[in-house]
Amino acid sequence: MSAAGMRCPACGSTNIVDDDLYSQAQLVCVDCGSVVSEGVLANDPVGGSDVSFSRTTAVAKRPCANLIKGQQRVKAICRILMVNREIEDLSHTYYKMAYEHKAFLKVSLQKKDILTGCCVLVSCRQLNWPITVGTISCLLDADSMVVGAIYQEMVKNLSIEAPIINVTDVIGAHCHEYKISSLDVPEELAENSRELTKRAVALVELAADSWIVTGRKPIPIMMAATYLAWQSLKPNKHRLKFSLDKFCQVAKVKKLKSAMTRVAEIKEVLCKLGKEIPWVRETVTPDNVIQLVECILQNRYALLRRAMRTHEDALLEESQASCAEAPPESSSQISECADQTPITSFVKQNGSNSDGKEKPGDVDYNPRVLPEHSGTQESQNPPQNWGKRVLFAPPCVIHAKKRRAEQPEHTDVTGDEEISDSEIDSYIRTPQEARDFALMQQMLSLSDSAKS
């Protein structure tokens, strides 16, 4: 407010001057000396400046340094995996989205690092470029469980859907890693990568059909399939003598422990099928089955059907022979159900029974489930022990864990029974016992401190 054009409220004169008192602006009337108006002590507005501190000190906004580093890491991973341009762009987009998502805003740098790998993984899956979580965790040098957890969190938060990879898709890339071409190893051990992949894929498909793949980690299976494929492509004595260890050393690949068990399981399946080949005279053992692998794989569906049929016939004979035996065991089924309390719920079985799905000679298991109290030869719970009746079954079913014996008193418990004193007393030490215990503890602690 300027001094001009104002009137002093006390005397009415227009002679008003700016007379600042220290740092307080004041307008004072010259004639009567009254203060017409005064400003605040300082020129700053009350309650702080209108402009915030961060704005006054702000520089031009730059993208976060960690975001840039992360994007470079994404690029590096994409280049190492040699993916195409589309996948790389998609990974960059996902990484930016994830980085700025509130769930990942305040996480540790390590997690953000793993996030880079997860973005690449998701983009590869969506655009049909199969890589495994194992590959990514190798590249990131992180535990695959941690990578998996962050991957699932990211997929949930960003609401993206990624198809699940099949083992058969990944095996091509896996076989490529094996340095077994003629450039790397002597001629007698070398193998064309394409042939190797084809044979390995066939072996993996066979394994998938016979319950070896389900529920297992994919990489040991692929390793086992590659090893057996390599052996069977030229099954001479030299190659057959090569153990899995040596093969991995030659191919410069790190051996996995469980691959050995997978090799044994696949060989077992091959033996079961090898037995069905009509022109093979000698008994098929895991040692001599490798020579027959080519033949088995070419005719595997026919051999599978034959094996199923033979097995069915054998079972039929068995059941007919033992039909005349002991009367059916009835309620032993309940006793099999351990010391846990079963609640039985009746569930409607929709539509027609699996009769429609049954292929001739294929399905061994009879889907007409036996009611609880029926007497049959298999007194154990049918679904749990179908492993014993079927030719191919996962090992967890064949070697089912034995359940503990049932304790019948538990079936009639209500929560509000009487609790007798004597029961409770069994849980409390008598005063003498308590004193002894305290004494013993003292002695123990003394001897401990004496020793140390």
Partner 1 sequence: MDSSNDEALDIIITNVVATFRTRCHLNLRTIALEGTNVIYKPEVGKVLMKLRKPMITASIWSSGKIICTGATSEDEAKLGARRLARCLQKLGFKVRFSAFKVVNVLAVCSMPFAVHLIDFTKNNRPIASYEPELHPAATYRIKNLKATIQVFSTGSLTVTGPNVQNVATAVEQVYPLLFECQKPLCK
The residues in 113-132 that bind partner 1, with binding defined as CB under 8 A, are 132
Judged by CB under 8 A, does residue 159 bind partner 1?
yes
**CA distance readout (Å), 426 to 2, 307, 325, 433:** 96, 60, 49, 12
| H/E element, 29 | strand 26-29
- Is 426 a binder of partner 1 (CB under 8 A)? yes
Shortest Cβ distance from residue 265 to partner 1 (Å)? 15
In the region spanning residues 184 to 203, those forming contacts with partner 1, defined by CB under 8 A, are none
Among 347, 356, 399, 450, binds partner 1 (CB under 8 A): 347
Site for partner 1 in 294-323 (CB under 8 A): 304, 308
Q: Which is nearer to partner 1, 56 or 344 (CB)?
A: 344
Least CB distance to partner 1 at residue 344 (A): 5
DSSP reduced 3-state for 208 = helix
If binding is defined by CB under 8 A, does position 417 make contact with partner 1? yes
Cβ at position 53, least distance to partner 1 in Å: 44
**Alpha carbons 171 and 162: distance in angstroms, whole number:** 19
**Position 350 contacts partner 1 (CB under 8 A):** yes
Site for partner 1 in 135-154 (CB under 8 A): 144-145, 148, 151-152
Q: Which of 24, 357, 440, 447 binds partner 1 (CB under 8 A)?
A: 357
Structure tokens at 275: 């037995």
Any contact of residue 21 with partner 1 (CB under 8 A)?
Answer: no
Q: Which is nearer to partner 1, 217 or 255 (CB)?
A: 217
Report how far apart, in Å, the C-alpha atoms of 213 and of each of 125, 221, 266, 394, 440 are.
20, 7, 10, 9, 56
- SS3 string of 94-160? HHHHHHHCHHHCCCCHHHHHHHHHHHHHHHHHHCCCCCCHHHHHHHHCCCHHHHHHHHHHHHHHHCC
Residue 343 is a binding residue for partner 1 (CB under 8 A): yes
* 371 contributes a contact to partner 1 by CB under 8 A: yes
The one among 216, 262, 267, 272 contacting partner 1 by CB under 8 A: 216
Give yes or no for residue 422 binding partner 1 (CB under 8 A): no
Would you say the C-alpha torsion 44, 50, 54, 60 has a positive or negative sign? negative
The set of residues, in sequence order, having a beta carbon less than 8 Å from that of 283 and lying 6+ positions away, is: 275
Which of 12, 367, 388, 442 is the binder for partner 1 (CB under 8 A)? Answer: 367
Residue 67 C-beta: closest distance to partner 1, Å: 27
Among 413, 432, 451, 452, binds partner 1 (CB under 8 A): 413
User: Where in 270-289 is the site for partner 1 (CB under 8 A)?
Assistant: none
Q: Which one among 49, 341, 445, 447 touches partner 1, defined by CB under 8 A?
A: 341
Nearer to partner 1, 179 or 410 (CB): 410
Q: Does 345 bind partner 1 (CB under 8 A)?
A: yes
Nearer to partner 1, 327 or 415 (CB): 415
Cα distance between residue 74 and residue 92, in whole Å: 7
Residue 159: φ, ψ to 5°: 55, 50
Contact in structure between 328 and 270 (CB atoms under 8 Å)? no
Q: Applying CB under 8 A, does 369 fall inside the site for partner 1? A: yes
Contact between 304 and 209 under an 8 Å Cβ cutoff? The reply is yes
For CA atoms 153, 158, 159, 163, give the dihedral sign. Answer: negative
**Binding region for partner 1 (CB under 8 A) out of 47-55, 205-213, 265-273, 444-452:** 205-213
Burial class from Cβ neighbours inside 10 Å (0-12, 13-18, 19+) for residue 154 reads buried
Q: Which is nearer to partner 1, 83 or 304 (CB)?
A: 304
Q: Nearest 5°: CA angle at 158, between 153 and 103?
A: 60
Nearer to partner 1, 316 or 438 (CB): 438
Nearer to partner 1, 5 or 371 (CB): 371
- Residue from 210, 226, 231, 232 in contact with partner 1 (CB under 8 A): 210
C-alpha span between 298 and 309 (Å, rounded): 19
Asked whether position 355 contacts partner 1 by CB under 8 A, the answer is: no
Dihedral sign for Cα atoms in the order 141, 193, 298, 239:
negative
Binding residue count for partner 1, defined by CB under 8 A? 81
